[in-house]
């Protein structure tokens, strides 16, 4: 089952009527970024664990708060 030029034009016309001309560029941009993220995730899954980047080491003057979720910088006295 193939889509011909007529069917593609009908689908695009319906999308224009349904979403409006102001929303179509936003939808295209979000769809493009979603596809880009998917491709990046798929290609990243093939890399071995050692090649993945490790997070940057923490600075010397930081410590974790009581809830251990937000680092707080403490000055030396």
pLDDT at res. 3: 83
In a domain, 74, yes or no: no
Residue 38 vs residues 25, 45, 48, 59, 66: alpha-carbon distances, Å:
20, 11, 18, 33, 37
The number of folded domains in the chain is 1
In a domain, 62, yes or no: no
Distance of CA 40 to the CA centre of its chain: 9
In a domain, 59, yes or no: no
Q: Residue for token digits 């910088």?
A: 73
Each residue of 21-50: pLDDT tens digit?
A: 888 889 889 999 999 999 999 887 655 555
Angle at 56 between CA 55 and CA 59, to 5 degrees: 140
In a domain, 72, yes or no: no
In a domain, 76, yes or no: no
In a domain, 68, yes or no: no
Containing domain of residue 37, as a range? 1-51
Each residue of 5-23: pLDDT tens digit?
A: 999 999 989 988 998 888 8
In a domain, 77, yes or no: no
In a domain, 63, yes or no: no
- Report DSSP state, residue 58: P
């Amino acid at each position: 089952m193939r889509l011909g030029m007529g069917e593609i034009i009908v689908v695009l016309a319906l999308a224009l009527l349904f979403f409006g001309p102001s929303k179509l560029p936003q939808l295209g941009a979000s769809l493009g970024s979603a596809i880009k993220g998917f491709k990046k995730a798929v290609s990243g899954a093939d890399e071995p664990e050692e090649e993945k980047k490790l997070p940057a080491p923490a600075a010397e003057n930081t410590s974790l708060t009581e809830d251990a979720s937000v680092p707080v910088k403490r000055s030396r006295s």
